[in-house]
Structure 1
Amino acid sequence: MASITLKGVTKRWGAFIGVDSVNLEIADKEFMVFLGPSGCGKTTTMRMIAGLEDPTSGDILIGDRVVNDLEPRDRDIAMVFQNYGLYPNLTVYENIRFPLKVRKIDPKSHDARVRRAAEMVELTHLLDRRPSALSGGQRQRVALARAIVRQPSVFLMDEPLSNLDAKLRVSTRAQLKNLHHELQVTTIYVTHDQIEAMTLADRVVVMKSGVFQQVGTPTEIYDRPANTFVAGFIGSPAMNLIDGEIVDGVFTCPNVRIEGFARDIVGPVTLGFRAEDARVCPVEASQVQAPIYSVELLGDATMVTVKTGASLVAVRAGKEYRAQIGDPVGFSIRAEICHLFDRTSGNRIENHKSAGSGTVSGTIENRNWENRHVR
């Protein structure tokens, strides 16, 4: 098995910067997810690790070896692609076996390795079929088995579930989680789906415009987002973000008044809170009062949304809650469950006593997680 290290890795195409001087250490056997919107650089970063793109500058190490000049076939990696990449003229058995033939592995071992890989992804009964006779989920499992049979040091997976329907995504996610537990192979997984990232990853890299915004466990990035981009990207629904001002420990904006903040934090801020951390309450006892903008029945809960200024604010109510659009509603929000962010930089503000006055004077958090580079 192998660790992976990125040291100042940059990818440019002329004046355009696709990946901007990123540093990262991925531990042996770790499941690392690169998460971000389209065009953020996550697939480019993976392709540089795979050897399909050359970095403009910086070093990529697999284990203790710099692999910048190594061909993809010499990096001991296996890739799973979004479009499966199966050979239509070959059976499932021969598709899975193909990497062994190409790498000239002892033919005597082929059958046992193919059948073991097929068993791991529950394809044993389909080995004689061709890809055209398989469903999308079955084809993706063939692609997984073809990677598994290689027994590589590193798995690279580029949005492997994006072509599956919602139900298949859930079942295949569970299968991937179990496979990683069983195989214990270092894995990098690229996705724009934050649910996949939160459910699969040991750690997540959140990317935007070629820069690592935050690296941490799913719990860390959910509970303590480093900036408003991460706060607004992670979670379903995403964190509520409201622009307002704090004076004398009170946050205010249209329809919102929340008391209890440190008095040394003064000035314009962005306040954030999760839908599940607030509750619907009588208007006279609330910190947010506004007409209902929408009501969504989710089965296990009801999402109640109001509009304050330009912001939509959602709170999760009980599944039995019933109301109509336009009805007055109140939300109860405690200061201690809120997150504060600098309005200019978007960076997280620590809500504690510090010197200064007249502007936002809380401490902008400088969270130097090991193995990360944030700009």
Structure 2
Amino acid sequence: MAQIELRNVSKRWGSFVGVDDFNLTIADKEFLVLLGPSGCGKTTTMRMIAGLEDVTDGDILVDGKRVNDLEPKDRDVSMVFQSYALYPNMNVYENIRFPLKVRGIDPKTHDEKVRRASRMVELDDFLHRKPAELSGGQRQRVALARAIVREPNVFLMDEPLSNLDAKLRVSTRAQIKNLSHELAVTTIYVTHDQIEAMTLADRVVVMKGGVVQQVGSPTEIYDRPANAFVASFIGSPAMNLMEGQVSGGVFSAAHVEIRGLNAPDGPLTLGFRAEDAALAPQGSGQITAPIYTLELLGDATMISVRVGDALVSVKADKSYRAEIGDMVSFSIPNEICHLFNAKDGARLGD
């Protein structure tokens, strides 16, 4: 069992705040993803949990025990790094075995543990090879096996897929998902890739500038983003955001008029997702504008228009054909609209 609590945890270097007043309880066996852009504090948070960074303020507890002052080796966590961190002079078998030797585990159990970990990540045919003889995906699997072999209470994964090409990212992501189900170990996973977060996580913590913006299941964060930043960060494509004015329940911006909104008069940021809107008969939609670009995605066609300084996209059928510059209308029903405060980006309404 490994329940992790972060209580008012902060990290500062002089006047620079890396993580500010982080509070969270991570349940036993939960797969939690820390998500955000570079510099948001997600890796620093993970490193504090691992003991690789000192906590400036606050407490970190594992199963109710304060671990702030424990050395990394005493925290019973296993970390998978972005850089793989393999020993080039050792073959795959010895790389996987290394944590067992360091921790003084009974040598009689090593072979069974190494081969079990190897089997779980499909490395049995590569145990004799050196890291230089492996592909990037194979090296990452060695790093995963080396973490598994220790049988820790907590897995920490710091952007483990970022060095892989797109196809390998998909297959390795599936492997991590399956492993987390099979091992049932508390896992904290750091990424800037929202697709990884959405597909892997039980819960997602979205961070910006060292501050938690929202915590929730992937569905909750996707359907009800807490603010415009979360809305812009989650989804592929990200949520369309348009700045405009509301007067008498009517939202107006360049090429846009949406009526019947329950919103106060004044500046407003209105958002909607590309897949929730639809094409409308010419001139009859809430947005009518010339096509800025068309992207054929295979299963759909993405149509984009300009609304002020923003590009606004809508998914159409894969058979849709038009030319750049042609006029197009989009239907934006009120029920798909998300409303955000124009000043601080906070979500408005229920």
1:237 partnered with 2:232: no
Residue-by-residue CA offset, 1:278-320 (whole Å, 9 max, x unaligned): 0112222110010000000000000000001111100000100
Where 2:69 maps in the other structure, the secondary structure is coil
Aligned match of 1:128: 128
SS in 2 for 1:275: coil
Instruction: Give the TM-score of the pair, scaled to structure 2.
Output: 0.99
Decide whether the 8 Å contact of 2:222 with 2:234 is kept in 1. yes
Aligned to 1:93: 93
- 2:116 alignment partner AA: R
Look up the match of 2:284: 285
**Equivalent-residue separation in structure 2 for 1:342 and 1:65 (angstroms):** 41
Task: Tell me, yes or no, if structure 1 residue 56 matches structure 2 residue 47.
Answer: no
Equivalent-residue separation in structure 2 for 1:320 and 1:7 (angstroms)? 53
Residue 315 (structure 1) aligns with? 314
**What's the CA shift for 1:194?**
0.5
Q: CA deviation at 1:6?
A: 0.3
Q: How far 1:252 moved relative to its partner?
A: 1.1
Secondary structure of the 1:283 match is coil
The answer to whether the 8 A contact 2:232-2:240 is kept is: yes
Q: Does 1:14 align with 2:11?
A: no
For 2:256 and 2:194, the matched residues in 1 are separated by 29
Aligned to 1:274: 273
> Aligned partners of 1:344, 1:13: CA distance in 2, in Å?
29
Shift of 1:333: 0.5
Residue deviations 1:52-73, cap 9 Å, x none? Answer: 0001110001111100000000
How much does 1:41 deviate? Answer: 0.5
Q: Distance in 2 between matches of 1:308 and 1:338?
A: 16
Q: For the residues of structure 2 that align with 1:308 and 1:157, how far apart are their CA atoms?
A: 39
Runs of 4+ in structure 1 deviating by more than 3 angstroms, as ranges, are none
- Please give the TM-score of this superposition, normalised by the length of structure 1: 0.92
Q: Which amino acid aligns with 1:299?
A: G
How many pairs does the alignment contain?
350
Indicate the residue corresponding to 2:218 in structure 1: 218
Superposition deviation, residue 188 in structure 1? 0.4
1:128-147 matches, within 5 Å, as 128-147=128-147
Calculate percent identity across the aligned residue pairs.
71
The answer to whether the aligner puts 1:83 opposite 2:86 as a matched pair is no
* Partner in structure 2 of residue 364 of structure 1: none
Verify the 8 A CA contact 2:269 2:339 in the aligned structure 1.
yes
Q: Are residues 1:327 and 2:334 paired?
A: no
Counterparts of 2:188 and 2:144, CA distance in 1: 14
Match of 2:34 in 1: 34
Partner of 1:156: 156
Structure 1 segments unaligned to the other structure (5+ residues) = 352-375
Mark the runs of 5 or more structure 2 residues left unpaired by the alignment: none
1:348 matched to 2:347? The reply is yes
- Partner AA of 2:99 in structure 1: P
Counterparts of 1:174-253 in structure 2, within 5 Å, are 174-253=174-253
Shift of 1:99: 0.4
Counterpart of 2:275 in 1: which secondary structure? helix
Separation of aligned partners in 2, 1:129 and 1:300: 41
SS of equivalent residue, structure 2 residue 10:
strand
SS at 2:29's partner residue?
coil
Q: Deviations over 1:125-144 (max 9, x none)?
A: 11111111110000000000
Q: Deviations over 1:139-176 (max 9, x none)?
A: 00000000000000000000000000000000000000
Q: Please state whether the residue corresponding to 2:320 is helix, strand or coil.
A: coil
Distance 1:260 1:113 in 2: 63
Considering only aligned residues, what root-mean-square deviation do their CA atoms show, in Å?
0.8
